[in-house]
Structure 1
Amino acid sequence: MEFVLAFQQPPNVYETYADLLKGQQVSLAWKQYMGALAAAGVMRAGRQLDPRNASTVRVRDGQRQGQDGPSPDAHALFGGFVVINVETQAEALHWAELNPNSSAGYTEVIPVLTIIHA
């Protein structure tokens, strides 16, 4: 089964990344985590995102409304994701628990639906 692990981070986490020492520690934790996913053979894809430079678009009454920056409704920023292929949801939850992001923010575990083409 495929799952997306979506990494939701509080905005202040990005200040930690900017600190030279703390940023290196965070980078090392991420490298170890990604290496463990690769070594286990479960990672299919992954990307780091820059939500601070996102744009938000809504359509209301047929009119596009846009704003620079992440959604003002967000309490956390979507900082990245990986797609994993594991046997069970319990295994996906285990990988989410091991993620360095889960101690600062949270990791959503989202099953990937199979699309059937006609």
Structure 2
Amino acid sequence: MRYTLLFHYQEATPEELGAEVVAEAQRAFSAYAATLHAAGVLIAAEVLQPSELSTTVRVRDGRLQVQDGPFADTKDQLGGTVVVDVPDLDAAIGWARQAPPVNWGAVEIRPGATYTVDGVWTPNA
């Protein structure tokens, strides 16, 4: 079963965090990704650019609306995602517990409904 781990945390610039904190976070994320890979559960992982670089698109009353920035106006933003293929939710929770952002933000676990590989859609079961 595929689960996406969504990492939510407060955004800060490298200058605001300091070089030591940035280096530790990079080490923690690298170690986490290596552990997921070694366990054979890692499907994909991304660290996202700051939310100020995002664009939100929606259609209302038949008209396209394009908004600079994120949809949600909160302190915590979606900072990255990891997709894992594990037997069940308990296993996904175990991997989320090891994710670095669990210590300074939140990790949301969401099961996928379908996924595609090479253009073929497959139910996630």
Asked whether the two chains share a fold, i.e. TM above 0.5, the reply is yes
Matched to 1:104, the amino acid is: W
Residue deviations 1:20-69, cap 9 Å, x none?
Answer: 11100110111111111011111011111113310122322222222222
Q: Distance in 2 between matches of 1:75 and 1:22?
A: 19
Decide which structure has greater strand share: 2
TM-superposed deviation, 1:9: 1.5
Q: Could you give the per-residue CA deviations for residues 69-91 of structure 1, whole angstroms, max 9, x where no partner exists? A: 22243442111111111111101
1:33-112 → structure 2 map (5 Å cutoff)? 33-50=32-49, 51-112=51-112
Identity of matched residues, %: 33
**What is the CA–CA distance in structure 2 between the aligned matches of 1:72 and 1:47, rounded to whole Å?**
20
Q: Which residue identity is paired with 2:54?
A: A
Residue-pair matches, total: 115
Amino acid at match of 1:38: H
Q: CA RMSD in A?
A: 2.0
Q: How many Å separate the matches in 1 of 2:41 and 2:83?
A: 8
| TM superposition outliers: structure 1 runs of 4+ over 6 Å | none
Higher alpha-carbon deviation: 1-10 or 69-78: 69-78
TM-score by length of 2: 0.80
The reply on whether 1:7 has 2:7 as its aligned counterpart is yes
Contact 1:17-1:26 within 8 A present in 2 as well: no
Q: State the AA in 2 paired with 1:23.
A: V
Contact 1:47–1:80 under 8 Å retained in 2: yes
Counterparts of 2:35 and 2:80, CA distance in 1: 17
**Structure 1, unaligned runs of 5 or more:** none
Give the Cα–Cα distance (whole angstroms) in 1 for the partners of residues 100 and 26 of structure 2.
10
Contact 2:52-2:68 at 8 Å conserved across structures: no
